[in-house]
């Protein structure tokens, strides 16, 4: 069994010798130092001590100052102060500065053994606690990493599910195939240009991608009708905002995105549907999405018309600023290079984007997009 090592510090040689002899007889490995300076030097060279036993009154550097150094530089080593001074203020100061015990001189062997045993046990428990805390931190870090990885996998699975939902709608309405991906890419780019944080981008992206999900409940006779819709059919078509909202809001991680789905047909001047929201009553994500949705609607081909140019769509968005669109977001849109949108469209058509990498919003539609 390894002997506990004790450093005895006292400027009086007889005291050092007696303490060393008593402790050696009790089975400890003892080293002595005649001054605080020598003790600090020894500890710098070999800090592996289980206890420091130090006198209070010493020349040059006293024991309390040594105690301060030890608590700062060697906090793992317990320190017991011993002295002939029976002064409550000195004793209190020693404990406040970090001593684990205080022993009066002259001391009996049994008193010394008892104090040393308690102090070494204190140090042992403190070391165990430190090791436990470090191990606990390592375990927590490891488990946090695993949890983060699991959450990332879960989020990826969420986005794969969203992609499947969007693809299901594309299969029903091939006229607008790829629309959800494009508007998500457009909205994401616009939202990033506005400086939104990553969590907001995720919410807006999901809302944008799922904005038309309510159309799954729209009858094919209306959704796929080649001509213009009647007033009654238009009323049924308009229900897709609320239907989509009711579908999406029941999914906990999509609850905030559901607000974009609900508001994606609202217009800045209050002339949209289903609630006639105006201005900032409309969720920010939906106001951003409005421009992206209109841009894609105007520049995409339909059986009944040819898509317009991005330049012409840009002019129309400028014209509708303050009525259909939030004018401040239109300014952000205009500040982006025109080729941005062409590049994004090309990228999404190559299916190089996915829901997890797209982040945007959901709101109004292009001026000529009757069924959006």
Question: Environment class of residue 144 by beta-carbon count within 10 Å: exposed (0-12), middle (13-18) or buried (19+)?
Answer: exposed
Q: Which pLDDT does position 279 carry in this prediction?
A: 96
**CA 83, CA 105: separation in Å to the nearest integer?**
5
Q: Which pLDDT does position 85 carry in this prediction?
A: 82
Q: Which pLDDT does position 363 carry in this prediction?
A: 30
**CA 251, CA 28: separation in Å to the nearest integer?**
67
List Cα–Cα distances, 292 to 22, 241, 276, in angstroms.
86, 17, 20
Q: Which pLDDT does position 246 carry in this prediction?
A: 93
Q: Which pLDDT does position 70 carry in this prediction?
A: 92
**CA 320, CA 235: separation in Å to the nearest integer?**
24
- Round to the nearest angstrom and report the end-to-end CA distance of the chain: 82
**CA 249, CA 258: separation in Å to the nearest integer?**
5
DSSP 103: E
Q: Which pLDDT does position 303 carry in this prediction?
A: 65
**CA 202, CA 359: separation in Å to the nearest integer?**
5
Q: Which pLDDT does position 151 carry in this prediction?
A: 67
DSSP 213: G
Polymer length in residues for the chain = 372
**CA 321, CA 314: separation in Å to the nearest integer?**
11
Question: Environment class of residue 329 by beta-carbon count within 10 Å: exposed (0-12), middle (13-18) or buried (19+)?
Answer: buried
CB 36 within 8 A of CB 66: yes
The percent of the chain in helix, strand and coil, each rounded to the nearest 5, is 60, 10, 35
**Phi/psi at 9 (nearest 5 deg)?**
-120, 120
Q: pLDDT digits over 20-54, tens only?
A: 999 999 889 999 999 999 999 999 999 889 999 99
C-alpha radius of gyration, the chain, whole number: 38
- The residue among 192, 149, 212, 128 whose CA lies nearest residue 332 is 192
**CA 102, CA 313: separation in Å to the nearest integer?**
85
Mean pLDDT of the chain: 85
**Phi/psi at 264 (nearest 5 deg)?**
-70, -10
Host H or E run for residue 96: helix 88-96
Q: Which pLDDT does position 146 carry in this prediction?
A: 81
Residues of the chain with pLDDT under 70: 1, 151, 154-155, 159, 161, 164-177, 303-304, 351-372
């Amino acid at each position: 069994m390894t002997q506990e090592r004790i450093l005895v510090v006292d400027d009086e040689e007889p005291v050092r010798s007696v303490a060393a002899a008593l402790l050696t007889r009790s089975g400890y490995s003892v080293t002595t130092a005649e001054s605080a300076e020598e003790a600090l030097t020894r500890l710098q060279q070999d800090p592996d001590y289980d206890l420091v036993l130090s006198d209070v009154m010493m020349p040059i550097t006293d024991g309390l100052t040594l105690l301060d150094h030890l608590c700062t530089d060697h906090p793992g080593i317990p320190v017991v102060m011993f002295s002939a001074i029976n002064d409550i203020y000195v004793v209190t100061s020693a404990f406040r500065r970090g001593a684990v015990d205080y022993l009066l001189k002259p001391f009996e062997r049994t008193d010394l053994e008892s104090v040393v045993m308690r102090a070494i046990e204190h140090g042992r428990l403190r070391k165990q606690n430190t090791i436990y805390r470090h191990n606990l931190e390592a375990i927590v870090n490891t488990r946090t990493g695993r949890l983060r990885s699991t959450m990332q996998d879960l989020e990826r699975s969420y986005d794969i599910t969203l992609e499947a939902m969007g693809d299901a709608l594309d299969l029903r309405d091939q006229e607008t195939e790829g629309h959800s991906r494009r508007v998500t890419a457009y909205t994401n780019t616009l939202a990033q240009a506005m400086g939104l944080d990553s969590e907001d981008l995720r919410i807006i992206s999901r809302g944008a991608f799922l904005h038309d999900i309510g159309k799954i409940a729209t009858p094919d006779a209306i959704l796929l009708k080649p001509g213009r819709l009647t007033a009654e059919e238009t009323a049924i078509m308009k229900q897709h905002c609320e239907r989509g909202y009711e579908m999406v809001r029941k999914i906990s991680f999509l609850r905030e995105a559901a607000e974009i789905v609900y508001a994606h047909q609202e217009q800045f001047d209050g002339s949209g549907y289903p609630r006639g929201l105006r201005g900032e009553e409309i969720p920010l994500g939906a106001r951003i999405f409005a421009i992206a949705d209109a841009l894609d609607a105007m520049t995409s081909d339909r059986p009944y018309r040819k898509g317009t140019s991005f330049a012409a769509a840009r002019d129309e968005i400028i014209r509708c600023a303050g009525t259909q669109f939030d004018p401040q977001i239109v300014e952000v849109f205009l500040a982006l290079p025109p080729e941005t949108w062409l590049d994004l469209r090309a990228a999404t058509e190559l299916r190089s984007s996915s829901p997890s990498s797209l982040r945007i919003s959901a709101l109004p539609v292009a001026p000529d997009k009757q069924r959006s």
